[in-house]
Amino acid sequence: MRMMSKTLGVAIGAALVASAWAAPQASGVQPGDEAMTCEQIAAELVPYMQQVAPNVQALAATQQREFEHAQAKHAERQPAHQMLAGMAAATTFDPTGASKRAYAAAEMAQMAKERSEDRAEAASPQAQKAKAQREQIAAQAQTLQADARLQRLMQLGQQKGCDRKR
C-alpha cells in the first residue's frame, strides 16, 4: 500500500508537472490568479488529479503484484544460488579442476534457465498489462501537458512555493 501511494504521488506529480484534461484556454490565465493561495491552487488541481488517479492506482496495484512475484521468484531461486556458491567454494580445494568445470557448467545452466524464465515473464499477460497501463498514463500526461490552465496553476504553485508548504 505504501508503494502504491508513493507511485500514485510520483505519477500524479510527474503528470501534473509535465502535463491536463480540460480544453486548453488561450493562456490559462484567469482574473484573480495572482491572489490565489496555495490551498486555492490545490483545490483547482483536484479534478486533474482525479482524472489521473484511477489509472495510476491500477498501475501501482499491477506493479505491487509484479514486485511480490519477483520476490517469490528470488526466494525460489535462492537454493540453486546457494548450491552454486558451495560449488564455487569447493573449486578452491580441487587441484584437478574437475569441480571447477562442474561448477562452470552448473552456473551456465542456471543462468540460461533464469534468462529463459525472465524472457517468459517479460512476455506474460501481467507484464503486457503493466506496459499498457504505463502507456496509458504517458498518454494522459501528454494530454495534460497541453492544458494551459493546468500549466498556469503549476506555475503559480511554484512561484508561491506551494510545494514547500507541507
Query: pLDDT value at position 12?
Result: 52
Q: What is the mean pLDDT of the segment spanning 66-72?
A: 95
DSSP state for residue 24 in the 8-state scheme: P
Mean of pLDDT over the chain: 85
Q: Where are the alpha helices (DSSP H) in 19-97?
A: 38-91
Domain boundaries, the chain: 2-164
For residue 8, pLDDT over 90 is answered with no
Global pTM value: 0.65
For residue 14, pLDDT over 90 is answered with no
What are the tens digits of pLDDT across the range 84-130? 999 999 999 999 999 999 999 999 999 999 999 999 999 999 999 99
Please report, as a single letter, which amino acid is at residue 58.
A
Q: What angle do CA 102, 107, 113 make, to 5 degrees?
A: 125
Query: pLDDT value at position 13?
Result: 55
What are the tens digits of pLDDT across the range 125-164? 999 999 999 999 999 999 998 899 999 999 999 998 998 8
Helices 148-159 and 38-91: crossing angle in degrees, nearest 10, is 90
159 by Cβ neighbours in 10 Å (0-12 / 13-18 / 19+) ranks as exposed
Query: pLDDT value at position 20?
Result: 39
For residue 16, pLDDT over 70 is answered with no
Q: What is the mean pLDDT of the segment spanning 3-30?
A: 52
